[in-house]
A and B are shown apart, each in its own frame.
Chain A
């Protein structure tokens, strides 16, 4: 007999030998072990209930019974009426709900509102029962009622009704609000390639940012104005400028690194703690901060801190001739930030104005840029 089909008993009795002599006439026992106060033994699982009854009839104190084996577990399972009822009910519910559609999924909507389709499908399905839903009829009704639908397929997958829509793509010229192409930069127009629309500028014009380049209409032979999406490639020389002021002699105030910090804690304006020190600096800068120590408004403790930084006046003497290359490069790098990778730099101009030891440096980069990029078309 396999060990895992046994039941383990743990009993407490005084005359165990007599008891076992009595038990063994009816049952076969295994692994009888005597421990300090208890006696443990095993019996075939199928005899366990009978033996338990026998022990209780003989007033034996049973400390523990452990059952091993599939048979006992199955037996116990079939006694769990609640679990069985739950499983049966669950299975019944599962099979019942298989017959219904609980969800409508709409795929492929860009311009059409999904909710609009969902509402339409709900209105045109008699019930959620799968057999009552005619998908082919629904497809035809959707196609007939929504002009923007090019093709549609309706399918029931699981508990979902899936509506897959392909929207019709209308030419831009047929719908939408048209906006003029406006200049994105200041510059001088060098090249125009008009596709459609009415030009407002010509080559050589100097334009400012925001100025209209192409209007969103064309005029036909009879003088009628027809709205169109303006399209054009307009290139211009755009100037990117950076400047800097250079002082040959300058007096600056610098921090020495020494500082004094004073702090106080207040509650409703009353000072409840302070750590104040005298400001011994002759020249100084001060910085004041206040923070709430608590996040609630019941006890608004405020921590105030004032920091005094000692300062001194420093005379700085610089030589423009020695530093000019560095300044030019710095300005060039600042201007190059605005240049895209594929844009051509057509020229660079640096001008320096001097007066009273002060130098004004201007750097201008000329680049060719498409200033009317894209279409003046707003998608509806």
Chain B
């Protein structure tokens, strides 16, 4: 099966692939943010949603945010996404 993230990783030569195993995240037009490899939620509110990753924390700011999907490994945030920052 085609995997978007694996395909991208396969094209990289200079970077150690082990370093890329932390998390994957894709932002679709500031409306949907899809994340693989999260380690748990830390904040859940309509304006801020943040979650832990292997190396730290990711904070998503916006309006009318909600988690349209949440599983042990993946999550999908929907709403008006204004800022995504990794700490």
Identify the A interface with B (CB < 8 A): 16-17, 20-21, 24-25, 28-34, 39, 41
Contacts and interface: CB of A to CB of B under 8 A. Distances in A.
A24 B51 CA distance: 13
A364 B84 CA distance: 116
A29 B68 CA distance: 8
Given A17-B41, A17-B44, A20-B44, A34 B66 contact: yes
B69 A28 contact: yes
B72 interface: yes
Given A20-B41, A28-B69, A28-B71, 14 more contacts: A17-B44, A20-B67, A20-B70, A21-B40, A24-B70, A24-B72, A28-B70, A31-B66, A31-B67, A32-B66, A32-B67, A32-B68, A34-B44, A39-B44
Nearest to B75: A24
Contact of A34 (B40, B45, B69, B70): B45
A24 B71 contact: yes
B43 interface: yes
Interface in B29-48: 40-46
Contacts of B69: 28-30
Contact of A29 (B42, B45, B46, B70): B70
Contacts, number: 43
A34 B41 contact: no
Nearest to B39: A21
A24 B43 CA distance: 15
21 contacts: A16-B44, A17-B40, A17-B44, A20-B67, A24-B70, A28-B69, A28-B70, A29-B69, A29-B70, A29-B71, A30-B68, A31-B66, A32-B44, A32-B68, A33-B46, A33-B66, A34-B44, A34-B45, A34-B46, A39-B44, A41-B67
Nearest to A22: B40
Question: Interface residues of B toward A: which range?
Answer: 10 to 19
B72 to A, nearest CB: 5
A31 B46 contact: no
A31 B67 CA distance: 5
Contacts of A31: 66-68
Query: A-B pairs with the 7 shortest C-beta distances?
Result: A32-B67, A21-B40, A17-B41, A29-B70, A33-B66, A28-B71, A25-B72
Query: Which residue, of B42, B45, B68, B70, has the highest number of chain A Cβ atoms within 10 A?
Result: B70
B59 to A, nearest CB: 13
Nearest to B69: A30
Nearest to A23: B70
Contacts of B44: 16-17, 20, 32, 34, 39
Nearest to B77: A32
Contact of A21 (B41, B45, B66): B41
Contacts of A33: 46, 66-67
Nearest to A20: B41
Query: Which residue, of A17, A20, A41, has the highest number of chain B Cβ atoms within 10 A?
Result: A17
B63 to A, nearest CB: 13
B40 to A, nearest CB: 4
Contacts of A28: 69-71
Contacts of A30: 68-70
Query: Which residue, of B43, B46, B66, has the highest number of chain A Cβ atoms within 10 A?
Result: B66
Contacts of B66: 31-34
Interface in B3-54: 40-46
B67 A29 contact: yes
Nearest to A39: B44
A25 B71 CA distance: 7
Contacts of B70: 20, 24, 28-30, 32
